[in-house]
Chains A and B, each alone.
Chain A
Amino acid sequence: ADDVTLQLKWVTQAQFAGYYVALDKGFYEEEGLNVTIKPGGPDIAPTQVLAGGGADVTVEWMPAALAAREKGLNMVNIAQPFKSSGMMLTCRKDAGIASTDDFKGKTLGVWFFGNEFPFLSWMSQLGIPTDGSDGGVEVLKQGFNVDPLLQNQAACVSTMTYNEYWQVIDAGLTPDDLVTFKYEDEGVATLEDGLYALEENLADPAFEDKMVRFVRASMKGWKYAEENPDEAAEIVLDNDASGAQTEKHQKRMMGEIAKLTAGSNGALIEADYQRTVDSLLAGGSDPVITKAPEGAWTHAITDKALN
């Protein structure tokens, strides 16, 4: 069997259920692949792992991938299992937030480490400075959790519909206490979890073939997970070596994830790509990327995989 190493963007959780299902159900094996899944974490830059040769293919968000591409790392989107973005800003009503107009002068928690790009381009579209100048917002580098919101250290924090939002709810705040701004609704959604590989590797037909089989099996996994969310969550739990995940949380997450993967058969939709690029280019004085990237995605793999 051919070896394939997949680097995830974050720790083992239902966000990556499709891959674990494909592994567990033998979909990879059926394609003659021997897949190793490496969980990520707060200090892991999947782009760097890819560059260092630690993985053949990686799950990454498109803004980070395009930024890395501009740095000279030729990574290419070969499939896009996530159709919609799950990112949002969750705010406390009692901090005085009702609409985007209320942001000025407030403290907002943001993820960095390559995940700050969507936020920055949204703010520049709103015309709100983030560099601490007058009439702007104060930005915090948010840690791993939603503490700043619970401790009243920030008016809003970044959350994912499928994960951190529920941690806020579990902590005792009710949806009535909160206001949420989904990037999707604000028209600034960027593409999330896609699969990326290195351009020079793809030039090798054997590698390309491996990727075709990999994407095919992965998408089969995703569709299985969408249809059997509870079983998928159980599979994820079985694969979590840290023993920290709970069944309740993973089942709920799987439900939310299914909504995001729903509209995708794995092939990148060019319009979504274009929207992402436009949003990133509109970054005002400090854009995330300076020019429209070329060759940052390919349908070559999905075309073969899906037929």
Chain B
Amino acid sequence: MIGWIGFAILAWFAGMLVNSWLARDPGVQWRRLAAPIVFGATMIAAWEGIVRGFDISEVLLPAPSVIAATFAASLDILWVDFVQTVIKGALSGYLIGCGAAFLIAVAIDRYPFLQRGLLPVGNFVAALPIIGMAPILVMWFGFDWQSKAAVVVVMVFFPMLVNTVQGLQDTGAMQRDLMRTYAASYWQTLFKLRLPAAMPFIFNGLKIGTTLALIGAIVAEFFGSPVKGMGFRISTSVGQLALDLVWAEIVVAAIAGSTFYGVMALIEKSVTFWHPSQRT
């Protein structure tokens, strides 16, 4: 027991030591990538040590090694759930929600009347806790992934809308005046000035949306679902005290979410390469 706790403490210090060495020269690409990995490994090692050292019951918090074993043994279940929740629910909802928000943002931006009326109301609606919306949407759209997609649409819609509207307004006065001196049409100004200038904001919305989409799809499954999906598996397994499977699903969620986020960040980097925040 003492041994495992000692292991946890040791792992923690070793990890921090390695990382402060890595941080000494942050210009190097591999060091930037290695640091979070080392940090994660440190946390996992400390977790293993603490769970074993304090002999924490497996039905409360399983050790990482147990979770990993379950993960490897349940790949087929995890895959089915992943397809149901992430591909069908989250991704389709994300595309619909972000797409709709984008188009409406352009419309709002075009008509200041809408802007003054819709944004305050929109902010109010955005404050609706979606946890409450989820059962209603399940009631409206049925049990399968469609209702999950609907929850995701509601969740990603407003962050995307607000960011896009703000981005479309984020052109400098001089940049707009320049377009005026060319007597450029509305659409020319939109495509050649406002959309490019809005990209950093739009990507902010898209990035926030990635984590929201995942959470939304999973949470919606708590309120009714077919007998597959990550949310279904999590809630069912908690009831069965199969905490190792719960954590395996959480690991899938974290990996999927981080990957989704990372992909958007990469696309952002290539689209908004010109923005000061991307240049350092």
> A-side interface residues toward B, CB under 8 Å?
42-43, 45, 47-48, 51-52, 64, 67-68, 71-73, 112-116, 130, 132, 138-144, 147-148, 151, 153
Contact = CB atoms under 8 A, between A and B. Distances in A.
A141 B239 contact: no
Given A71-B241, A72-B59, A143-B135, A112 B224 contact: no
A41 B208 CA distance: 31
A242 to B, nearest CB: 15
B139 A48 contact: no
A275 B149 CA distance: 43
Contacts of B138: 143
Contacts, number: 83
Interface of B: 57-60, 135, 138-139, 142-143, 221-227, 232, 235-236, 238-242
Given A141-B224, A143-B138, A144-B223, A51 B57 contact: yes
Contacts of B238: 43, 45, 48, 113
A114 B224 contact: no
Contact of B223 (A47, A67, A115, A143): A143
Given A141-B224, A143-B135, 8 more contacts: A48-B238, A52-B60, A67-B241, A112-B239, A140-B226, A140-B227, A151-B139, A153-B143
5 contacts: A43-B238, A48-B59, A48-B241, A147-B139, A151-B139
Contact of A141 (B58, B135, B232, B242): B232
B240 A114 contact: yes
Contact of A114 (B57, B223, B239): B239
A-B complex: 4 closest residue pairs judged by Cβ atoms: A114-B239, A113-B239, A143-B224, A112-B236
A141 B59 contact: no
A67 B240 contact: yes
A201 to B, nearest CB: 14
A72 B59 CA distance: 8
A71 B241 CA distance: 7
B227 A139 contact: yes
Given A48-B60, A72-B59, A140-B225, A113 B235 contact: yes
A130 B236 CA distance: 16
A45 B241 contact: yes
A209 to B, nearest CB: 25
A188 to B, nearest CB: 19
Contacts of A64: 239-240
B143 A144 contact: no
B249 to A, nearest CB: 14
A71 B239 CA distance: 12
A183 B240 CA distance: 21
Contacts of B236: 112-114, 116, 141
A67 B225 CA distance: 23
A86 B60 CA distance: 30
A140 B224 CA distance: 7
A148 B242 CA distance: 28
Contacts of A72: 57-59
Contacts of B142: 153
A147 B136 CA distance: 10
Contacts of A139: 226-227
A148 B59 contact: no
A47 B143 contact: no
A73 B57 contact: yes
Contacts of B240: 64, 67-68, 71, 114
B234 to A, nearest CB: 10
Contacts of B143: 140-141, 148, 153
Q: Which of A51, A140, A143, A148 has the most CB of B within 10 A?
A: A143
A51 B59 contact: yes
Nearest to A115: B239
A71 B224 contact: no
Contacts of B58: 71-72
A43 B235 contact: yes
A185 B2 CA distance: 56
A42 B224 CA distance: 12
Given A72-B59, A112-B235, A113-B235, A148 B224 contact: yes
Contacts of A48: 59-60, 238, 241
A277 to B, nearest CB: 17
A139 B239 CA distance: 18
Contacts of B241: 45, 47-48, 51, 67-68, 71, 73
B164 to A, nearest CB: 34
A144 B136 CA distance: 12
B202 to A, nearest CB: 35
B226 A141 contact: yes
A130 B226 CA distance: 12
